[in-house]
Chains A and B, each alone.
Chain A
């Protein structure tokens, strides 16, 4: 089929050039105050990876678009159907899912956590999650105020997403402990970046080892 040729070609090139190509990281922000750090997070990853960004409508209140890296495209809900006119046209959340090697949601809000745990997909971000290929790594860095964190749903939802195969980058507990509900919970952008990079490079080494053994 005509529609599958470009994807196959791209797949082939990926296989041949896997080692030297920059990893493709899809970064996403949901509606938490900690989203004020999203631009900083994108900068951290841009130094090392090819980055695209997705934001939920709730997170846009906190993201300063002017401070986003210039080479990072930021997709929002209104982009979802802009490329679709008729059957056969590309759907954005499917294209982004195919493009990405790794996905990171930081911050992950309590609301989006609940949606993911329940399989809901009512916006661009949650549609990508719902379609995600779990042979590829997926990280979340939650951010919510202490009172929401203590609610029983949080633990229940984390169990659900852990079963899906999502890795948790835990919040900074010392800020939670003092009751700071403004921004405190999310791990530092540098921590999120180094966690993902270490994971990626260790996986890349495993891949090369397998190739060598053959």
Chain B
């Protein structure tokens, strides 16, 4: 059985050393202009955490892979079934979910927000979210045009994800890539990193 295999035993052993080990953070990026900063987001987190990254197909339009830290492994949809050939083989979204202690989606697009709010799971990133264990923290930093942000669905979807237990790192008043000067731009990478880090440190102190 999978639950008794060596990987599980190793995971349990490592869990015992949680305080002295770097936290494992899974970063996700969606198809939004804010994804141009994803490499920077990864660098901010890599300074204090062990990082793996998951990107959607649409986000690849904006992400410059050359800006990624060298020690960050990036997963995309094509990796989902690379490891699966027959029954019993590992499934990527489950493996990543088990590995991660914290998940941060930055940027979160309007499309992925809608999918998460509706429980859809049609790619690697949304499959991880759909299976997420909410005893572990999940943060999202939305990024969308201000007109999209003001659409009634946004508030409805944000309410849905809040009820799930997802923590929102709000967008900022900024000049977006499309020229609007209003709410909608993703929070700064340094803000996202420090928000999550403070949360993590406080959580560790409680243990």
Whether the pair A118, B118 counts as a contact (CB closer than 8 A) is yes
Check A110 for interface membership: any CB of B closer than 8 A.
yes
Interface-lining segment among B32-40, B43-51, B126-134:
B126-134
Interface residues of A in 174-190 (CB under 8 A from B): 178-183
Q: A151-B132, A178-B1 are in contact. Are A117 and B119 (CB under 8 A)?
A: yes
Whether the pair A152, B87 counts as a contact (CB closer than 8 A) is no
Q: A110-B130, A178-B3, A179-B2 are in contact. Are A145 and B119 (CB under 8 A)?
A: no
Cβ-neighbour of B133 out of A33, A118, A147 (below 8 A): A147
Q: Per-residue 0/1 for B81-107: is the Cβ within 8 Å of any A Cβ (1 yes, 0 no)?
A: 100100111010010010000000000
**Chain A residues, Cβ within 8 Å of B87:** 33, 36, 182-183
Check B120 for interface membership: any CB of A closer than 8 A.
yes
**Chain A residues, Cβ within 8 Å of B155:** none
Check A195 for interface membership: any CB of B closer than 8 A.
no
B7 to chain A, nearest CB (A): 13
Whether the pair A148, B131 counts as a contact (CB closer than 8 A) is yes
CA separation between A88 and B24, bound complex, in Å?
A: 57
CA separation between A110 and B130, bound complex, in Å?
A: 8
On chain B, the number of residues with a Cβ less than 8 Å from chain A's Cβ atoms is 23
**Chain A residues, Cβ within 8 Å of B169:** none
On chain A, the number of residues with a Cβ less than 8 Å from chain B's Cβ atoms is 28
Q: Per-residue 0/1 for A33-62: is the Cβ within 8 Å of any B Cβ (1 yes, 0 no)?
A: 100100000000000000000000010010
A114-B119, A183-B87 known; 14 new pairs, CB 8 Å cut-off, are: A33-B84, A33-B91, A36-B87, A110-B127, A111-B121, A111-B122, A114-B121, A117-B119, A145-B94, A147-B132, A151-B130, A151-B131, A181-B94, A182-B88
30 A–B contacts, CB within 8 A, in A order: A61-B81, A109-B121, A110-B121, A111-B121, A111-B122, A111-B127, A111-B130, A113-B119, A114-B118, A114-B121, A114-B130, A145-B94, A145-B131, A147-B131, A147-B133, A148-B130, A151-B119, A151-B130, A151-B132, A153-B119, A153-B130, A154-B119, A156-B119, A179-B1, A180-B2, A182-B2, A182-B89, A182-B91, A183-B87, A183-B88
Task: Name A's B-contacting residues (CB within 8 A).
Answer: 33, 36, 58, 61, 109-111, 113-115, 117-118, 120, 145, 147-148, 151-154, 156-157, 178-183
